[in-house]
Chain A
Amino acid sequence: MIGLFKRNTLGVQDFPGFGGFSFLFYLYLYAPIVVLVAFSFNANQSATVWTGFSLDWYRAAFANQALRQAAGNSLLIAVCASMVATAIATLAALGTSRGAKFKGLQLTMGAIMLPLVLPEIVVGVATLALFSTIGLSLGYGNLIIAHTVFCIPFAFLPIRARLNDMDLSLEQASADLYAGPWRTFRKVTLPLLMPGIFSGLMLAFIVSLDNFVISMMVSQAGTTTLPIFIFGLLRMGVTPDVNAVSTLILGVSVLFVTLSYLLGKKKS
């Protein structure tokens, strides 16, 4: 790891001290996460003194009925919301980069980015106001709707980036070879776009799984998500089983981000 931050000769592009400073920055980014993961394997009751390795807290976490229920809710909502959001975002990405320019394109892009730009608490308040006004209480449905909306920009960005990087000449070649627009789309554009779509799907999935502020505003009794459940535990005090659950959630996020990264790197 240290090797990444050191160089032997001082070149024109080397600024002394910046390497060391960056190393400290990476340390700052990862120190709390490392401490959290380490303490989740601690044998001790008190969550902050190390006494030995143990998997007890994972056993306790898996045995907790309410926790399993919350995890199940979170997964269900994340799967539904990320899939719907990705479908919507794929169409929108195709519409904004492949079709002809239409009036209001700039405004459309602004609207798609809106859930990303507005503070989460404002989006939460607005969604709560809507559901309360029309009296919508579908349980999971409410949360799925709310999550779908803020997942759209997260799914949209990687798909559109992929579309913009794609070589137009392949689609032109297909059209030259008498493939109709639909056939060109299905046989050329879509397969090339697939890594972008998967990347968007995974980011949307994580963003939904992790969301706390908007879920907290919108959720009703019986639809507690995992972050809401953890927040409740934190209010009671720091206990080691929170560390275990947190480590599991971090693991899932890191897995999906890594997959998304690797897919994005794949050359067309």
Chain B
Amino acid sequence: MHALPIANALERRRAFQSFLGVSPALIAIGLFLIVPILIVIGYSLMEANPYGGVNKVFSSDAYISLLFQRQLDDSLAFADSYLIIALRSIGIAGLTTVITLLIGFPVAVWLAMQPANRRGLLIFLITVPFWANLLIRTYAWILLLRNTGVINNSLMGLGVIDQPLQLLYTDGAVLLGLVYTYAPFVVLPIYATLEKMDIRLLEAAQDLYAGRLRTLRKVVLPIAKPGIIAGAILTFVPCLGAMIAPELLGGGTRMMLGNLIFRQFSDARNWPFGAALSLVLMAAVMLVLTFYALRAERQRIAKGGA
């Protein structure tokens, strides 16, 4: 009986130490990220200063101009140009996610089937480009895609085409760059779910006369499902706010949300509108992540109950 209060005191002391440990991180992120987001909310509700920054006067113009344009007579007319950029971003991010999944799944399955001593190196080779500078990796595609680039020069040298193909500054180029950037994000989580898969499951399926395609669909795919969902989110979320690929490979004319936001703080000098756009983007990201977290939580409970 006497041991209990002492244990409790000890427990409290350890909890306090833990709290001390995490406090610098919480202070840094609170002060330099969470407080700033609150300031962004404030900025989005203020008047734009034409020289950059904001005038500290309340205005809902930033949110109105997301969907409407103010006419000369001060009436509002529906304007879809920003809506189109937002939908484009969602479309490109969605398409990138689908393509990376189609590419990433077979690679992850193949990796998981490799002998354990080879896997480490093969996985490492997939992660190396991820750590290489994104700006430079995207720039490297310009060398391949432009009119006098490696692809056009080779095709013309082989006599396949007479005129260079317009590969750069197209939606296809932006898509290619994004898939290139995020494919490792899909391979790794799928691989992680398959890595510990019991090979005997595959033997069992094939002993029962399931073909390879059927084994893949009925055995491997269900096991990989959590990895597929994680990979899809890891691709879709950053793609929504992508800035470098549309800027370099899309030539700045094929804008996505990230570029539109950046413009508001550089040439356009409309900070409140940029702030409102940032909040819209953040809300979209949070929505996707919350959906994912709820789903994971539901599954945890379902498993715990069984």
Contact = CB atoms under 8 A, between A and B. Distances in A.
A235 B237 CA distance: 27
A127 B241 contact: no
A143 interface: no
B21 A123 contact: no
Interface in B257-290: 258, 261-262, 265, 271, 274-275, 278, 281-282, 285, 289
A4 B143 contact: no
B107 A22 contact: yes
B137 A125 contact: no
A16 interface: yes
Interface residues of B, number: 89
Interface of B: 11, 14-26, 28-30, 32-37, 39-40, 43, 53, 103, 106-107, 109-111, 113, 118, 120, 122, 124-129, 131-137, 139-144, 146, 148-150, 153, 180, 183-184, 199, 202-203, 206, 212, 216, 237-238, 240-241, 243-244, 248, 258, 261-262, 265, 271, 274-275, 278, 281-282, 285, 289
A110 B155 CA distance: 50
Nearest to B200: A12
Interface string A195-226: 00000000100100110110011000000000
B32 A149 contact: yes
Contacts of A47: 143
Determine the main DSSP class of B at the interface with A. helix
A96 B18 contact: yes
Contacts of B23: 95
A122 B17 CA distance: 33
A12 B141 contact: no
A101 interface: yes
Among the interface residues A18, A102, A120, A129, which one has the most CB atoms of the partner chain B within 10 A? A129
A114 B29 contact: yes
A206 B131 contact: yes
Nearest to B32: A149
Given A22-B110, A95-B18, A146 B32 contact: yes
* Range for the number of chain A residues in contact with chain B: 35 or more
21 contacts: A15-B110, A33-B137, A36-B139, A48-B143, A88-B24, A89-B25, A91-B24, A92-B22, A95-B19, A102-B18, A108-B26, A112-B29, A114-B34, A117-B289, A126-B39, A133-B39, A206-B131, A213-B258, A243-B143, A256-B131, A265-B120
Interface of A: 4, 12-19, 21-22, 25-26, 28-33, 35-36, 39, 46-49, 87-89, 91-92, 94-96, 98-102, 105, 108, 111-112, 114-115, 117-123, 125-130, 132-133, 145-146, 148-149, 152, 156, 203, 206, 209-210, 212-213, 216-217, 227, 230-231, 234, 238, 242-243, 246, 249-250, 253-254, 256-258, 261, 265
Contacts of B237: 117, 119
Contacts of B265: 125, 128, 217
B131 A257 contact: yes
A128 to B, nearest CB: 7
Contacts of B212: 15-16
Contact of A99 (B14, B110, B146): B14
A258 B120 CA distance: 12
A125 B43 CA distance: 11
A33 to B, nearest CB: 6
